[in-house]
Structure 1
Amino acid sequence: MRFKMLGPLEVTHEGRPIVLGGVKQRAALGFLLLHPNQVVSTSQLLRALWSVEGAPATARKILQNAIWGLRRALDVDEAAQTPATLRTQSPGYALQVDRDLIDHHQFLRWVGEGRAKLAAGAPEEASLLLRDALGLWRGPALSDLAEAGVLWPELTTLQDTRLGVQEDFFEAQLACGQHYTVLSELEVMVDNEPLRERSCGQLMRALYRCGRQADALGVYRRLRAALVEDLGLEPSRELQVLQQSILTHDPALQLGESGTAVLTRTPAAPFAELPEPSSVARPRSAAHPEPAAWQRRRASILLVGTAPSSPLEADGPDVAPAFDTAAARVRQEIEESGGVFAGAMGGVSLGFFPAEPYGDQHAERAVRTAVALRDLFTEARERGPRESGPGVDVRVAVATGEALVQLPTERGAHPGSVNGVLLHECQALLPLVPAGEVQVCAHTHAATQGQFAYQRVAGAQESWRLRSAAATAGRNAAAGDGNGGELDLLVGLLEHTRRWRRPHQAIVLGASEAARGRMLTELRDRLGGGPNPPLVLSFDGTRMAEEGPYVLHRRVVAAYCGLTEQDSPTETWKKLEAAVGELAQGQGHANWLLCQLGPAPEVAEQRLQDLDSGERRSARRQFIEEAAQRRPLVLINNAVHRSDDVLQEFLEDMERTGRPLPLLAVTGARPEVSVQDRYWLGSKRFVTTITLDAPSDTDTSIERLTESQLSLALEGAPRG
């Protein structure tokens, strides 16, 4: 039995097609084939088959009927050695199938082999493998489902991967001197994908070698015009250098030795294919809004490759879940450090750290994240399969420079993407990294050599291998007690909260209240800078509890409005009026908020501490909710172990709005706080625990517990 996804969905048995049912049955099979040997939840399948708004009341029953029909269709030969079995497994279904029976996975295997040959300097062999891989395509992936209205992100990823492999094939052909052979295919590629800089550079080189210098320069002019007019961007530095090389008839171009080394580097991933985001906008429906515009900006790209530690495990049944677990851990680490997770496929995960809002620190953040991931997977492998499943080796590559960046849209409607020559440079670097190591490009090394110790790696591509974290200088050294890494993590959590607009609590454990206080004071100072700083409010929950219920609500409103105890009622009213005017939706809503939030000007005794009616609490919730969307809220309490009632009251009350809230609560506590007490939070909040002292046995068990759940950010932790 064979499954064909690279074109219309087809299933054959002994060369004969198997008749499938209607669109829903075919769509269910197509989605399961995108996740072979994995449990796909019923809710995932329902979302794949219907939009949230378009699902009928009988959707679950229709899905069950589709699964029943698929089981009958696939049950054609029980004696086959490699049958495909559709199992019911909580919380959904799993299609158990040999991956070699799926053309998509055969494509990925040949691509991996072809890219390895290209990286090893064997372009002729690479060209044959990559051509065979591309020959498996019979049209757009699952084109029959796409025609029926299916708009899955996985289909876009598959198409983007195909384009990247086409560019690899062109690179191999150019390296073999076959510029005449690939010229027509390159021209079609550039016509269809006019903003892909790599293929444009390949076409320029092919045209030049065919004696068509003017046409090669014309490709550059058209690309530049499109970038400037549509995106307000200039072509990359590498393309500009290529243009100058053509103008000056650089001999290296004619000889096939690249005068623009980055453009001709081979993007290779030895153990799996990496989705390469396309820079061409695609039409989207109202249910699938347009992603953010592409921007050229400085960034550090992080590629994380994972592979089974033992060759015997490479085709085992637990490999796919192990890759999924690894990708989840990589995503968590990148996002918690303030980066953007751009996708994963087959053991390779992609993330990036844009220079804004971190300035020159984006490279340092990327390397610190790489180190954390290396240590995480190394420790998990050493604990053995009983705790962490099949052993997984990790290798990480980091490249810094200019890239085409597409930031995530609000509330995660579209993930972030990164493209351009820098991505290809990082892809070319990854195969050179030994298992368990971190390797960086020359630009990353130059930006971070004060924070890390490196050893230069001999080879054509200049790179540096990380040895250890050096004594941190400058900003981190000023962190008094050497907590620069913890401060970086907290700043990253704020950016994560700001981006995804969801509440998060960071619990800082340390025996010394003074040490915790110094660290939290420095955190407040660091968060206070920048063009759009958050509202940071430090408080003592024990003292505030004496002021009555919902005191933190009143303090937060007062802080957003800039109120002080010295303000007269008239001054208080004016400040409230100005703040409400910026946030309220309509004059009627503004009048209601003012009436509930502020004292009447003529009543000098009435302050914000008066009676907390239900309507007043609702008004405060609405005001804080709207204000936090514009200016995220950070609450800092250094002694939450003494009294967490004030903070807990505030967080639980704010959750009643049901709207995502960009809020970071940083709370200090003694390390002996119990497991139950550490996780006070409800289902809508996330928790990260940071230990300043050497961890005790209890702390270690907590860290292991959270690692087994893929991250330190726990949802739904019960209150003790």
Structure 2
Amino acid sequence: MPKPRTDVRFNVLGPLQVVRDGAILPMGGPKKRAVLGYLLVHANDVVATSQMIKVIWPQGAPSTARKMLQNTVSWFRSVLAEHDLAPSCALLTHSPGYLLRVDESMVDLLRYERLTRAGRQALADGRRAEATRTLREALDLWRGPVLEDLTDTGITWPRLAALQEERLTTLEDYLEAEIAAGRHHQHVAELDQLVTAEPHRERACRLLMIALYRCGRQVDALRAYHRTRKVLMDDLALEPTRELRELESRILAQDVSLRPATEPELRLTLPGAAHARPAPAVEAVPDREPTAHRAGAEEAAPSPRPAASTGERKLVSILTTSFDLGPEVDPEDVDDLLADLAAAVRTEVETAGGTVVCCTGSAVQAVFGVPRTGEHDMLAAVRTGLAVRDRFAAREDAGPRPATVRLSVNTEEVLIKTHGAAPEVVSPAIDICLRRVWSLPPDSVWICEATRRSGGADLIHDLAPYSSPAGPPLWHATGLRGDPPCPVDIPRPPLVDRDHDLMILQEHFDQVVRRGRGRILTLVGEAGMGKSRLVLELARLIRRGPDRARVLRTGTVHGLRTATADPLAGLVASWAGLAHGCTPEEAEAKVTAAVSALLGEEPAARSLTRDLLPLFAPGGRARGGPDTGVLHAAVVDLLVRIAGELPVVLVVEDLHAADDDLSRFLGLLAGRVAAIPLLLISTARPQLARRLCSQASTTITLDRLTDDAVRELWGSVLRREDGGDGAGLTPELFDRIGGNPMFAIEFARQRLHEPDGAPEGRLPARIYRVVAATLDRLAPDEKEILKEATLVSGPIVPDTVAALGCHTVEVVRGCLDDLTRRDLLVRDRDGTGYAFAHPVIRDVAHAQLPKATRSCADRRAEALRVG
């Protein structure tokens, strides 16, 4: 008979316990328990032997420490063998130490981390009931401080303190979700205990104040604030944050927005849309509480103030999908078939970060850029359209196709209205796109002229447009750069004023090749300063001699939020020669062949292949899952072995956008770089340059172009694309370009297409998206005040902005200071006023203001002048 499986659990969220079939097993003395505890809190990650010795014997290790550690490891392996736990749990020797590979379900810490991630994602998606249930389940796993029995013996590991801090953050997440759901009465006592135990946690104090106020205990809410303020002043000589101070002001003013509110939903308004099926509610979680002014602080005004937010103009990409079912479809099957098709489109759209706003008969429409603008919204829309096209084209293999599909991507301006709490998309463009798509040829993605221009060099399209009988010409999109059948090498404007920077990169590369030791470089610069272009030029120089080095790339994959945009999967795929969209079976065959070619048929090749294949699992791997440590170690091992044959240049794009998974991988790789011929080059924005993969990184900051370089680049674009003489670079354009090469290229292309000037000084779409994405990351009050500042003629003074808007002078001054720290504003020389750091920032912020808001501000400014 088969041996019954033993249920073994490892518990570290409290005293260390190994539980077998409900019984707690003895785990030896303090040193054995410390070794096991350290391995468990670092489960599925490689831990160095030297580090384990330091933490187990912090006062100094005996000469036999390494032998004692080996004996403990042997003992633990015998425990695992005794209970027949392979392959769910195994303690492996893995340079430079050990790796405890364990199934997530066996360790309470791993279960807690999985539940916390799921709960926070549900909270971010607006699924409050699921969020509170999942977060509560995560918190219930805790039985006390992490490894409480070991900390009582004097052990203090940084990881333990970090986990305790993580638990408090999870508790605050749970309580915030509960309060938002209207269950403030049930949690007042728990919040009061938390604030008493952790008096410096201002978020906990904020939640307590809101809960007390909603319970009708305004006085107690104010007392909680003053108690926290006193502790901060006495202990740290610090005032509470502006957010907490503003909450006190709102309570004093009895702000109605503090009352419980239902979740907003995304609504669609368009002419003649009465026939449309309403889009499902898309819940949104605001970044922070809105700002209100102090009671009595607002003076009488000569005319009514505008509402805090009456709406916002946005440039979005609209993906329209229409299905033709054909006469062979049975009428009784139409509803089910359309529902299946719409569900498939919704999956692709939401995976890429878009929002479905309309389902009308056989058509599905989605917008990319709502509620927040992304730098790559247009690329995300086109890539999603291509994915939908390929998804339904593949059905030919399964038999008769149930439908043909027509797709279009249009870049249009819409109005996002924010009456009350519900965002509403308003634009006739959505209805126009819906009517036009029915006249397009099937099984292709058609893009408008604005989408084609805003794609820059990243979007590949046929040169001949399709003349649609229902409107302006459209272009046939065949794919994106690097995706078959599109070529990777695209004609680009010349690289100007970057010779010195390129020379520095070449020198570092030559040092890596000559000495056989790795280096880490970080290219820092604003968006559009040419970081990626500089790396591309280095790669071209290297590829001229194919035997000098191998160039591999990874990063955010055009910044698209897709399940397949796994940087490590992209890295391995580029090395193994995998085609975009290949099946898991094809990936397995290619990776197996590539590893065998590298290592031969030895057992190490089979082991490495096995560890790499989870990257190409159906639906994508679980980022941060229990096998993450093994996977990271496998990819590092692969790079080490590739570099053993030929030096490697690894390019990591957009380091500032790297998630925790990629950051942990880079940290592991950084520890091995010095010993192998590998040049690791990362690109990052200046505001987030601190997120470097290693303190040993050499930082190269790209400066703005000189005036002569801007003229040279401007003229080269006009001559190359139109044969012109490069004229038309006015002082105003010089000011708007600001030495940014991408700005110079996009303004030059705009001049080619609109020689008489863009209507109302409209910005090129690509520039607009880059700046708008930055503004959308601001807090609501900061963004509102930045837009109001565009209405000021002359120096930006807090009193003037407050008079034109709906905020107090104190709030305006605080936000202007914050915007200065974010490099969006600069202080005047005399320090009394502010100015925009770049004219384009003002242009984008002003373009987002609705006409009604501008008119109201103009009337108020005129009234103030008359008064």
Asked if TM exceeds 0.5, the reply is: no
Question: Where on the TM-score scale, by shorter chain, does this alignment land: which range?
Answer: 0.3 to 0.5
TM-score (structure 1 length as normaliser): 0.42
Compare relative contact order (CA 8 Å, sep 6+) and give the higher one, 1 or 2.
2
